Chains A and B, each alone.
Chain A
């Protein structure tokens, strides 16, 4: 790798996140709700439950069910998406559930269901990460017992350079080796609850990427924690 300093198109340092904003209590009807923003990517999430699980045959007598739904508003991207679920959104919904479940104490809610609805209002890459961050906060805001929060970030490899929190421009990187996108979700204690990868990378560099994610998720965790604390203190 060259030693010269890598210039990101928007002037950020390689390990610098975009500006973040977090807020809870944005949907008055919901039991818990939150907004999370990375730059121009805005996700909102609302939690309903724990509540009775229908249909009955889907009930789990051992633990509560976490049901996640990820959806992009049709106009959140430049090229309009047809409203309704797609293969992509169906997969992200499941990935989100897996990312959150390890920290949610579902064992307390046998036979019941917790609904988590995530909507992307505006997209500039890393939407699933913003969605997971908002969802984790909404669950905490709903007062659902959790062992920890989770925080999610996308690590990118642009040509040979690792960067934190990729935006759309970087996601479409074509020079050199192109772009590799690695969304990662971690607990505040550093356990991975979600990782995906699209592109190509060596094992040692992937280890490096995970270290970068560890550092970035700590920063995100502080933003999430502050928003949650502020909501209690202003009440």
Chain B
């Protein structure tokens, strides 16, 4: 179901007075619930619920060959599926743009922050390195899948153990995990999206709010250092407006990290 114009107009009118339908402030997230180890055959997994939005991320690893330009570093691949189970808007079939963008935005936030210590995932330079697969699935879409997916991915990584590897036979013993955690840096990146609705920015939009947002900008950052960005939507932003979003970043980053700190 699409959000009607009349609802959209009301959302904008409310926001001009700093109010939202569910009583939140513009910079306030919904309640976040997290569960880890939700899929035990994965190297690590996490379920993240933000309000009624729910996403599951799982990590699998396999031994592969490195890319020629990084012979001593592991690889990473992020995929996302907008499951038809999670919304009447999503259809079966090959991934369309929103699923591809979701995966790429999460990929960039993780890759550019250098949170995964890829050099420690090298077994034999130029020959054998671990590939980390981050697969994201939506379970219920009530807006802000972008941020939910980013949080789920990072918490799943944080909970991953490296599989056992039989060096003699040259094969991964799938299903058997070592006690070694996936090597990560201390500073965890969060990708947070600022949506412009009318003349105001909000974070963590519900489905209705996201529908009426003209444009958005996703910022991947850890502790004040910004390492990835993506603007989406076909409206422009003024220099002042992008400045406003950046001014909101620190506060939102802190409040979200506080909500998920038990898991990172």
Question: A217 within 8 Å of B by Cβ?
Answer: no
Residues of A within 8 A of B94 (CB): 84
Tell me whether A66 is interfacial, beta carbon within 8 Å.
no
Of the listed stretches B80-88, B105-113, B119-127, B187-195, name the one at the interface; the rest are far from the partner chain.
Answer: B80-88
Tell me if A75 counts as interface (CB < 8 A to partner B). yes
B52 in contact (CB, < 8 A): yes
Contact check, B60 vs A75: say whether CB atoms are below 8 A apart: yes
Which residues of A lie under 8 Å from residue B54 when comparing CB positions?
Answer: 27
CB pair B87 A80 closer than 8 Å: no
The distance from the CB of A230 to the nearest CB of chain B, in whole angstroms, is 20
Q: How far is the CA of A84 from the CA of B133 in the complex (A)?
A: 15
Determine the distance from Cα of A118 to Cα of B85 in the docked complex, in whole angstroms.
7
CA distance A86 to B117 in the complex (A): 34
How many chain B residues sit at the interface, stated as a range, is 20 to 34
- B39 contacts A83, C-beta separation under 8 Å: no
Those of A140-176 within 8 Å (CB) of chain B: none
Q: In the assembled complex, which residues on chain B have CB atoms less than 8 Å from the CB atom of A26?
A: 139
Which residue of chain A has the shortest Cβ distance to B57 in the bound complex?
A75
A51 and B52 alpha carbons, distance in the complex (Å): 23
Q: Give residues 104-148 of B contacting A (CB, 8 Å).
A: 133, 135, 137, 139-142
Is the CB–CB distance between A74 and B79 below 8 Å? yes
Does B41 lie within 8 Å of A46, measured CB to CB? no
- Bound-state CA distance A121–B81 (Å) is 13
Q: Can you give 6 contacting A-B residue pairs, CB < 8 Å?
A: A26-B139, A27-B85, A44-B85, A74-B79, A80-B133, A117-B84
- A sample of 5 more A-B contacts (CB under 8 A), given A73-B56, A75-B42, A117-B84, is A29-B140, A30-B85, A75-B58, A75-B133, A79-B175
Q: Which 10 A-B pairs have the closest CB atoms?
A: A75-B58, A78-B175, A75-B42, A117-B85, A80-B60, A78-B174, A46-B85, A74-B135, A122-B39, A79-B174
